[in-house]
Structure 1
Amino acid sequence: YHSLSIEGYRVTHELIEKVASGDWEPQQSVEDRQQKDAIAARGYYQAFQVVKNSVKSILEGKDSGEVVDNDHGNWYRELFAPSVAVGLAKVSDLAGYRNGPVFIKGAMHTPPRHEAVRDTMPVFFDLLKKEQETSVRVVLGHFIFVYIHPYFDGNGRMARFLMNVMLASGNYPWMVIKLDKREQYMSALEKASVGNDIADFAKFIGEQVSNTLDQ
């Protein structure tokens, strides 16, 4: 609910329950086929199931960087599989990283050119594999993924999936960035991206983890 709402989708708890229960039928229902929010909710649910498998692999002892490197493409494909199902996207759109420029609405940060993405992503995953400190993997994993913006869409949701997988690698619980924290969250990301100062973002993530542990 919160991860989708942060991205601007009008999602209710009832809608999440509808798509999670399988009561979403785009082939039979025109309303479902035209319901962008339902499509996003279903994609998030499907991706979440795959991400849970990644977490399971890490808890069984596999390297978190290796798991994310190997699995993130599957997360992305599941995230947008419902869009393919209703004809809003092509299967080819889900193959690999973006092949053109991308701009972030309301942000000053301009992600790297698409030609650089294929070179920067392997380096990014190598850094995750080599980093031993959980907190660094959590904060930089999220930040660098969003900074690169390797896909045309879904980068925020993917970054939060990655962040939580890295939290799991340190035996931390799943952490939700709630909708009422959106402005603070986006501001901290912008400061890190444009102002080259990641302190506020690191502090923000730390506070959200602490709040989760206190619940």
Structure 2
Amino acid sequence: MFSVALSEEKEPSVRVVLGHFIFVYIHPYMDGNGRTGRFLMNLMVAAGGYPWTVIPVERRQEYMVSLEEASSKQNIAPFAEFLAGLSNADSRAKRPRSFLQQANSRAPFNQHDQGLNY
């Protein structure tokens, strides 16, 4: 179900947010899920034509809280907003409108999202 949703999604920003969340939610490995998820997220970022996004270690708690909100309360908006905030803070990238800003403004990422059950 998720792989179909990701493969059919046209907007790279939405694929990035959902792809990272889905991988971390599945939690397929004993160790390294977060690192692998962030790496996969950046592969999707690069595939969309955007520069890589780094989650600073000093913002790890905020990152974890936003993922927990998506997982336990079926509300992915804080995670999308967190990633968009990272993208906005990176003014060195000189992108007109970041892919994460597009993801955050494009769809209502919450439990009411049509066709996706988190």
Normalised by the size of structure 1, how large is the TM-score?
Answer: 0.41
Match for residue 5 of structure 2 among 122, 127, 137: 127
Match of 1:145 in 2: 23
Counterpart pick for 1:196 among 74, 78, 98: 74
**Residue 206 (structure 1) aligned with residue 84 (structure 2):** yes
Q: Of 118, 121, 136, which residue of structure 1 is paired with 2:14? A: 136
Q: Match of 1:132, SS?
A: coil
> 2:32 matched to 1:154?
yes
Equivalent residue for 2:115? none
After superposition, residues 162-181 of structure 1 pair within 5 angstroms as: 162-181=40-59
Find runs of 4+ consecutive structure 1 residues off by over 2 angstroms: 123-128
CA distance in 1, matches of 2:41, 2:20: 5
Count matched residues: 92
1:1-215 matched pairs, under 5 angstroms: 123-212=1-90, 214-215=91-92
- Helix, strand or coil: the match of 1:173? coil
What is the alpha-carbon distance in structure 2 between the residues aligned to residue 143 and residue 136 of structure 1? 11
CA drift at 1:124: 3.3
Once the two structures are aligned, what percentage of the paired residues are identical?
A: 55
Give the structure with higher Rg (CA): 1
TM-score, length-scaled by structure 2: 0.72
Q: How many Å apart are 1:167 and its aligned residue?
A: 0.9
Give the residue type in structure 1 aligned to 2:8. Answer: K
User: How far 1:182 moved relative to its partner?
Assistant: 0.7
Q: Any unmatched runs of 5+ in structure 1?
A: 1-122
The equivalent of 1:12 in structure 2 is none
State how far apart, in whole Å, the 1-side matches of 2:31 and 2:6 are. 22
